[in-house]
């Protein structure tokens, strides 16, 4: 394998995010699509998890997700998922649809986000801890000290602390970081957990390329340096 190809593959790998525990980035499926072909979307035998989009209605009594006059009942046994959400909010609910499971079609949720997705930016850990409903179902970035690391399935469960408060983080990716390191995590905050799609040591390079992460920047610059050096060598031979 040539050095150019190896460096190019390294750059691509650096830019691919890890899989999140809950598929918040799952493609949209509308309520109308599900009702039009319920057997196709039925998780009992065929389809698995989907990202159902629509408007929340009757959230305090007989909650449903609607699309105009069409609606599907939502199982609310995991009520913490919906903290801070209100009637009329447009959402994407991640979960499984069951066709005529009881008396009617039912959607069992795993997670929920405001839709279109709201990016709350960088928020302090004490602020999120004291007002979790405000950030529930939104994308947030936190910075703090890593206090605990535990393997969990294909990923890691982490505790990140700052100023006496902490947030639980679930990250489906590899990490060699140990407690005591200053870290940065970014992902969806839902039901008291940050489902991170990026996580790493809080460091800053003295340079950067817009649109690229730190690792990707290094790969791009390495590739550019190699190509320039090779071009210079070829010019010398002429």
Tens of pLDDT, residue by residue over 197-224, are: 999 998 754 444 444 444 444 555 566 6
Reported pTM: 0.77
Average pLDDT, the chain: 85
The fold of 119-201 is OB fold (Dihydrolipoamide Acetyltransferase, E2P) (2.40.50)
For the record, the structure tokens of 56 come out as 């929340």
Q: Which of the four CATH numbers 1.10.10.10, 2.40.160.40, 3.40.50.300, 2.40.50.140 does domain 28-114 have?
A: 2.40.50.140
Angle of helix 3-15 relative to helix 214-237, nearest 10 degrees, comes to: 160
Whether omega before 116 lies within 30 degrees of 0, making that bond cis, reads yes
Q: Do domains 28-114 and 119-201 have the same CATH topology?
A: yes
pLDDT (0 to 100) of residue 72: 96
Q: How far is 237 from 172, CA to CA, in rounded Å?
A: 49
pLDDT, average across residues 94-99: 95
Domain spans of the chain, in order of start: 28-114, 119-201
């Amino acid at each position: 394998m040539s050095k150019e190809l190896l460096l190019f593959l390294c750059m691509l790998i650096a830019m691919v995010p890890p899989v999140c525990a809950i598929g918040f980035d799952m493609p949209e499926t509308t309520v109308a699509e599900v009702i039009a072909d319920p057997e196709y979307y039925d998780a009992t035998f065929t389809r698995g998890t989907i990202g159902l989009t629509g408007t929340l209605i009757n959230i305090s009594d007989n909650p449903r997700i609607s699309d105009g006059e069409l609606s599907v009942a939502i199982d609310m046994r995991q009520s913490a998922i919906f903290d801070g959400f209100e009637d009329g909010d447009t959402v994407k609910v991640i979960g499984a649809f069951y066709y005529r499971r009881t008396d009617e079609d039912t959607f069992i949720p795993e997670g929920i986000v405001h839709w279109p997705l709201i990016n709350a930016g960088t928020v302090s850990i004490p602020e999120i801890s004291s007002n979790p409903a405000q950030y529930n179902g939104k994308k947030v970035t936190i910075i703090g000290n890593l206090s605990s690391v535990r393997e969990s399935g294909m990923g890691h469960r982490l505790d990140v602390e700052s100023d006496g408060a902490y947030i639980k983080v679930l990250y489906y990716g590899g990490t060699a970081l140990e407690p005591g390191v200053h870290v940065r995590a970014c992902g969806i905050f839902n039901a008291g957990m940050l489902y991170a799609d990026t996580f790493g040591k809080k460091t800053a390079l003295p340079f950067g390329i817009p649109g690229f992460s730190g690792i990707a920047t290094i790969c791009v610059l390495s590739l550019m340096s190699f190509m320039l050096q090779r071009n210079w060598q070829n010019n010398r031979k002429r």
